[in-house]
Structure formats: structure tokens, C-alpha cells
């Protein structure tokens, strides 16, 4: 049986339409999921939406609709966005799904009955837009440390999860599983800022709003966001029922999350799992933010465009490539339309697109579209041919360590080498000399091999473009396994290939 790989994005709040920041996490998760599928894994890739809470209740009220009507519309749009970005998720969970609701209630009851949840009184400083409670030490000048707006002091009867009980177990877990949290800096942050100073029990129910999952044994309470939201990763598999799906895919291999929710995924979520006596996810990776003009792109600040505008203007793969290539995964990075244009022109248009169209055109012009495998490589060919057949090993190791931008850099290094090889071998000069016909065929063949292997490696990242290249090369087997099976003869046909990317002029 194939090895399995379970990967998730966070479930997003459908409090407003999604922006390029949500696309960022989802595109990266998609590329990893596709890469693992191509590597032979049985992949389960999950995304979804986190639909309950006061903020959405309020937004719906403002819009004059029910919360469910409010989120339904945004989710329809989100699914359409994922489709236009070629996101290949296997499952889309909504926290309003009946199955999820029932399972969360069962989990809550189980934790209550075993004493991990108890009733108490909550006092806290609450930020409505962020749906976050803060302690006195966390607020900055009386304002929410995330969004800078006012927080209110709230007191209410509430249920609590005994988070404090898991402090030592968590610390031990971090120690024995050094790659549980990546990058390393985020792990240290969790240890030093949260775990070591001491964990407080966590408030997990609310009576101040209605839009949530009711506690079955105390109906004036709704289950507060984190137990409802975090459990999505197991309820979608059928838990608490020990379904085949659950047995197959749990524990999750990789939770991709933004840096501000690392805490929830590496402290609260593992503690809940420990209480449920379930294995912990293998890894939580906390990535940075895409920022605009030094600030976070934010639905509540409204400083963003609908990502479909970028897709419609520049093409889906320009957007995917930018998200995957521009920012070292883990760090914050600036997003700007002009950087998107520069990236598309320099890499996709100049390095990739021109190479593909030039090479195919030479194949058609000099060999009537039929280019045979050559056994007559010369020394000067080695820098190209060796790199071609080593590429997969390099990219594998980059993807394994989630250095996605470096994985792409390795592939583009091959494309650069191909371009250099054209300059070094000057096919147009060889073409003038009939006695150099064999040499010319070797050169074109090596270039086609470089393009073939690059396109195979690129298909997890920019699938639509790879597909076009496969068509241009008339290639049927595009599996990873086919890389080392050198093509005997390329039949390129006679049609001049369409440009993969048009050069974008910046206004
Ligand atoms: N609903 C919670 C997650 C629950 S997971 C069990 C949530 N939702 S969110 O919609 O606010 O954010 C979801 C994810 O999107 C987070 O990982 C967040 O970091 C990410 N991003 C939101 N804006 C972003 C950027 N500007 N850049 C990169 N990622 C960003 O938190």
C-alpha cells in the first residue's frame, strides 16, 4: 500500500471575502500536496472554513441576513477562488457541517465527563474583530496587540479546558520531537513566551453570543472557537468514530498555519489531542505573512484586491509562482503587484517561456519536428545533462524540508543552464553547416530533455503551464518515474508553439 500524507491549511474565517494572504497558504499547501501525489503518496489535502463566532454573527446582522446565509455566499466565492487557482483539495470542511457539529459536541462532552473540561467564570479583555481574548500583559496601551483596536473587559460563566495540566507533557513532547514545530524560531517562541511562563486553563465556551455549536448538556453555552475549529482536522475523518478514513490518515503529517496561530496549533491542539489520547500531528509549520506596505493584508483593514483580478490579468500560474517563489517560506514578505509583474516577466516569460518556444521552433525548423535521442554528447554538454538527471533529487530534498522557493530556484537553475547552453553551442551557426547536422540534433535533443524534466518537476507548482509544455513536446508520460527514461524521439509536430507567457508592460 502507498504511504499516506495528510496535509491541511487552516480553516479560514468567512467573515469577508478571501484575499491574497489566504491564497498564499493554500497555494503552498496545494503545491506540496501535488508534489506528494506525484511522489506516490496517498494524499489527503484538506482546507475549509471556520464559520462560527461573534464576529460573523455581527457581520450577518449588519448585512441583514442570517449568519448561515452570510457565510454561504462567501464560501461559494471561496470555492470558486480555489477552483480558479487550481487548488486540488480532497476535502473542504465547514464547521457548520452537520457531521462536524455533532462530532464536536461529542468531543466536548467526552472531555467534560473525563474532567478535562470544567465549569468556571471567565474574566478577560476581548477584541471583537479578532475574536481573541487577551491578558493584561498582552494588550498594548489598552488595545488589541493584533489589530490595535479597543478591547472590552468581559465576565461570564464559562467552561474551561485544563490546559495547565499539559504544560510539562507539552514541553517533553517538544524535546523528544525536535521537528514538531518548524521553523525552529517558532518553537523557541512557544517555549519561552507561553509554555515556560506557565499555561492557564482555557476558556472554551461562551454565553454572550448564539452563533456557535451548543453545549449539549448546558444549552445556554456555545462552544468557543478553538475546540470547534481545531477539531476540524479529526472530525472530517469521522472522529470520534474510529472510521477507516480516520485510521488511515490520522495523525496528520503537516499542518500549515500562519505565524499568529502557531500557538493554537502547537499548544492548545496538542493538549486537546493528549486529553483525547490521540497521537499528535507530525509537524506544524508556521509561515510568515504577506504584507502590503509594511502592514498585514487584512480583511478588516480592507487593503486588498480580489485575488481573481490578479489571476484574470496575469494568469493563474503567475500568481501561483509568485506565492511560491517570492518569499522564503517561513519569513514575512512584501506583496505588490509590481513585484508580481517583475517576477512573471523575469522568470516565467524570459527564462522559461522564451526557452520553450525557441527550442521547439528550432526542432521544427531544423528537423521537421522529429528529434532523435543522441548518444554523441561532448564534454561541453555535461554541465547541462548532469544537472538534468540530478534535478529531482535536489528538488525532493528541498520540498522535504519545505524550502519551496529554493525548490523552484533549483528548477529555474536548470532552465538558466539551458539558456546558457544555447549561447554556448550556437545552434543557428551549426545549422549552416550540413556536416554538423548530428551535433545540432544532439544540442536540440539535450535542450528538449532539459525542458521535459523541468516541466515534469514544475507540474506540482504551476500545473497549467506544465500541461502546455507537455502538449508542445507531445509527451504522454509525465510521471516522476519517467524522468530517467530518456525519450527516444521527440515528435513536435509543425505548429509554432503559442507563447506560454506574454511579457507584461507595467503602466
Ligand atoms: N479560523 C482561524 C484558523 C483556525 S485553524 C483551526 C483563522 N482564520 S483566518 O482566516 O484569520 O486566517 C487563516 C490563515 O490565513 C492564517 O494562517 C493566517 O496566517 C493566514 N493569513 C491571513 N492573512 C495572511 C497574510 N496576509 N499573509 C499570509 N497568511 C495570512 O485564523
Q: Which domains does the chain have, with CATH numbers?
A: 345-491 (1.10.730.10)
Answer whether residue 445 shows pLDDT above 90.
yes
Long-range contacts of 134-137 (CB under 8 A, 24+ apart): none
Identify the DSSP state of 97: S
The span from the CA of 156 to the CA of 217, in Å, is: 18
Distance 25 CA to ligand 1 centre (A): 8
Closest residue by CA, ligand 1 atom 30 = 21
Residues with Cβ within 6 A of ligand 1?
A: 10-13, 21-22, 24-25, 50, 229-230, 232, 257-258, 260-261, 289-290, 296-297
- Give me 280's grid cell: 499528535
User: Mean pLDDT for the chain?
Assistant: 94
Q: What tens digit of pLDDT does each residue of 475-487 get? A: 999 999 999 999 9
The number of beta carbons lying within 10 Å of the beta carbon of residue 506 is: 8
Exposed / middle / buried, residue 375 (Cβ in 10 Å: 0-12, 13-18, 19+): exposed
Nearest ligand 1 atom to the CA of 226 is 6
Per-residue pLDDT band at 250 (split at 50, 70, 90): very high
Q: What is the Cβ-side half-sphere exposure of residue 311, based on CA atoms within 13 angstroms?
A: 18
Distance 9 CA to ligand 1 centre (A): 9
Pocket-testing residue among 14, 25, 228, ligand 1, by greatest number of atoms within 8 A of Cβ: 25
Helix axes 307-314, 316-325, angle to 10 degrees: 110
Nearest ligand 1 atom to the CA of 296 is 26
State the residue for C-alpha cell 474583530.
129
Strand 333-334 vs strand 290-292: parallel, antiparallel, or unpaired?
Answer: parallel
Closest residue by CA, ligand 1 atom 13 = 12
- 69-73, 327-331, 422-426 — which is least confidently predicted? 327-331
Closest residue by CA, ligand 1 atom 12 = 12
pLDDT above 90 covers a percentage of the chain that reads: 81
Give the residue-averaged pLDDT of 54-69: 94
Provide the pLDDT for residue 217: 97
Closest residue by CA, ligand 1 atom 15 = 22
Answer whether residue 197 shows pLDDT above 80.
yes
Provide the pLDDT for residue 300: 65
Provide the pLDDT for residue 172: 95
Helices and strands, number each (H, E), in the chain: 20, 18
Nearest ligand 1 atom to the CA of 299 is 23
Closest residue by CA, ligand 1 atom 17 = 258
Q: What tens digit of pLDDT does each residue of 214-231 get? A: 999 999 999 987 899 999
The span from the CA of 213 to the CA of 225, in Å, is: 9
Distance 22 CA to ligand 1 centre (A): 6
DSSP letters spanning 347-374: IIIIIIIHHHHHHHHHHHHHHTTEEE--
Provide the pLDDT for residue 275: 98
Q: What is the Cβ-side half-sphere exposure of residue 241, based on CA atoms within 13 angstroms?
A: 10
Q: What tens digit of pLDDT does each residue of 139-175 get? A: 988 899 888 999 988 888 999 999 999 999 999 999 9
Q: Which of 282, 376, 323 is nearest to 26 (CA)?
A: 323
Nearest ligand 1 atom to the CA of 233 is 6
Q: What tens digit of pLDDT does each residue of 288-309 get? A: 999 887 777 775 666 778 999 9
Q: Which of 159, 198, 9, 149 is nearest to 89 (CA)?
A: 9
Q: What tens digit of pLDDT does each residue of 85-134 get? A: 999 999 999 999 999 999 999 999 999 999 999 999 988 888 888 767 78
φ/ψ of residue 171, rounded to 5: -60, -40
Amino acid at each position: 500500500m502507498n504511504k499516506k500524507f495528510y496535509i491541511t491549511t487552516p480553516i479560514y474565517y468567512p467573515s469577508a471575502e478571501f484575499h491574497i494572504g489566504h491564497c498564499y497558504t493554500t497555494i503552498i499547501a496545494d503545491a506540496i500536496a501535488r508534489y506528494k501525489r506525484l511522489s506516490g503518496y496517498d494524499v489527503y489535502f484538506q482546507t475549509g472554513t471556520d464559520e462560527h463566532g461573534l464576529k460573523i454573527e455581527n457581520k450577518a446582522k449588519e448585512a441583514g441576513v442570517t449568519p448561515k446565509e452570510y457565510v454561504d455566499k462567501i464560501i461559494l466565492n471561496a470555492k470558486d477562488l480555489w477552483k480558479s487557482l487550481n487548488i486540488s483539495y480532497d476535502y473542504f470542511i465547514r464547521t457548520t457541517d452537520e457531521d462536524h457539529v455533532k462530532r464536536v459536541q461529542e468531543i466536548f462532552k467526552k472531555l467534560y465527563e473525563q474532567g478535562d473540561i470544567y465549569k468556571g467564570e471567565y474574566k478577560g479583555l476581548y477584541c471583537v474583530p479578532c475574536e481573541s481574548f487577551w491578558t493584561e500583559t498582552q494588550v498594548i496601551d489598552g488595545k488589541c496587540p493584533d489589530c490595535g483596536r479597543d478591547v472590552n473587559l468581559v465576565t461570564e460563566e464559562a467552561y474551561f479546558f485544563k490546559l495547565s495540566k499539559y504544560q510539562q507533557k507539552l514541553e517533553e513532547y517538544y524535546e523528544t520531537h525536535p521537528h514538531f514545530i518548524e521553523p525552529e524560531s517558532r518553537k523557541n517562541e512557544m517555549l519561552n513566551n507561553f509554555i515556560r511562563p506557565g499555561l492557564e486553563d482555557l476558556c472554551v465556551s461562551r454565553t454572550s453570543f448564539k452563533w456557535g455549536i451548543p453545549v449539549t448538556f448546558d444549552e445556554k453555552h456555545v462552544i468557543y472557537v478553538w475546540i470547534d475549529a481545531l477539531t476540524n482536522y479529526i472530525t472530517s475523518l469521522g472522529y470520534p468514530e474510529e472510521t477507516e478514513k480516520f485510521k488511515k490518515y490520522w495523525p496528520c503529517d503537516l499542518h500549515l498555519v500562519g505565524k499568529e496561530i502557531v500557538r493554537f496549533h502547537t499548544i492548545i491542539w496538542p493538549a486537546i489531542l493528549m486529553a483525547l489520547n490521540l497521537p499528535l500531528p507530525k509537524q506544524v509549520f508556521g509561515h510568515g505573512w504577506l504584507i502590503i506596505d509594511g502592514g498585514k493584508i487584512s480583511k478588516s483593514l480592507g487593503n486588498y484586491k480580489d485575488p481573481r483580478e490578479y489571476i484574470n490579468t496575469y494568469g493563474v500560474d503567475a500568481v501561483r509562482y509568485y506565492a511560491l517563489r517570492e518569499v522564503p517560506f517561513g519569513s514575512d514578505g512584501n506583496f505588490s503587484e509590481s513585484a508580481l509583474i517583475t517576477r512573471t516577466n523575469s522568470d516565467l516569460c524570459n527564462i522559461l517561456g522564451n526557452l520553450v518556444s525557441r527550442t521547439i521552433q528550432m526542432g521544427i525548423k531544423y528537423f521537421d519536428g522529429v528529434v532523435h535521442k543522441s548518444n554523441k554528447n561532448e564534454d561541453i554538454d555535461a554541465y547541462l545533462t548532469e544537472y538534468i538527471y540530478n534535478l529531482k533529487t535536489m528538488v525532493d530534498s528541498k520540498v522535504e524540508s519545505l524550502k519551496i522557493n529554493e525548490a523552484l530556484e533549483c528548477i529555474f537553475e536548470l532552465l538558466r543552464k539551458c539558456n546558457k547552453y544555447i549561447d554556448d553551442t550556437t545552434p543557428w551557426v551549426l545549422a549552416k553547416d550540413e556536416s554538423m547536422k548530428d551535433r545540432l540534433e544532439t544540442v536540440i535533443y539535450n535542450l528538449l530533455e532539459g525542458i521535459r524534466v523541468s516541466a515534469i518537476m514544475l507540474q506540482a507548482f504551476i500545473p497549467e503551464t506544465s500541461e502546455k509544455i507537455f502538449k508542445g513536446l507531445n509527451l504522454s508520460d509525465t510521471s516522476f518515474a519517467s524522468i530517467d527514461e530518456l525519450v527516444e524521439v521527440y515528435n513536435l509536430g509543425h505548429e509554432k508553439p503559442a507563447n506560454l507567457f506574454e511579457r507584461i508592460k507595467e503602466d
